[in-house]
Amino acid sequence: MRVAVISDTHGYFDPQLPELLRGVDEILHAGDVGTVAVLDQLGAIAPTQAVRGNVDSASLGLPPTLTMRVGGFGIFMVHELPKPQSALQEWAGANPLEGKTLDRCRRFLADFPEACRVVIFGHSHEPCAITLGGILFFNPGSAGKKRFSLPRCFGMLEISAQGVRATFQGLERYNEDLPAGSWLPAGGAREWENS
């Protein structure tokens, strides 16, 4: 199963998307959609679900979070995490976590539903795929117009019986700034390893 993950379009529908998303089974939009027209255009490609971002109008009728099951994996989607993305990157890079830092990380992980194995988020415009405590945290970056010095891109989840592969697809001519993807194997529950 192929699931396209998009965020932070801010009312802009990139004309490359219909071709790039051809054949996906579903589209998930992690907020800051901007307009109903963006959702309509995505919905013409594949079934689309979205959450409300911090700049989205209530008139869009989007929920603040979504919990779903896709291809056997529990997925939780929210626009903005309760901790900054930089904290996840710090925790994932530290080995081992100790003391207050470990306690903060454990409390953060406890914020998500027990059956959740993938957390999709946006807001920072910075693409990110990090596995932390047995959960894949996936920010597809921004598919909207160029802002800051961050790349324009979206994400793809390939879900199979073996696991979930998260990758990034650029929307610019040169995409050397895109991070590597990530692999989350199937099986096993969420865990925190302090090794």
User: Position 139: which residue type?
Assistant: N
- pLDDT of 97 reads 80
- pLDDT of 194 reads 39
> How far, in Å, CA of 77 to CA of 67, rounded?
6
- pLDDT of 98 reads 85
Whether 191 is covered by a domain: the verdict is: no
Domain with 102 in it: 2-185
Whether 192 is covered by a domain: the verdict is: no
Whether 128 is covered by a domain: the verdict is: yes
Whether 61 is covered by a domain: the verdict is: yes
> Which has more confidence, 187 or 135?
135
Whether 34 is covered by a domain: the verdict is: yes
Residue 175 binned pLDDT confidence (cut-offs 50, 70, 90): low
Q: Which range, of 86-90, 107-111, 144-148, averages the lowest pLDDT?
A: 144-148
CATH of residue 14's domain is 3.60.21.10
User: Total structural domains in the chain?
Assistant: 1
Do residues 122 and 150 touch, judged by C-beta distance below 8 A? no
Secondary structure (3-state) at 76: strand
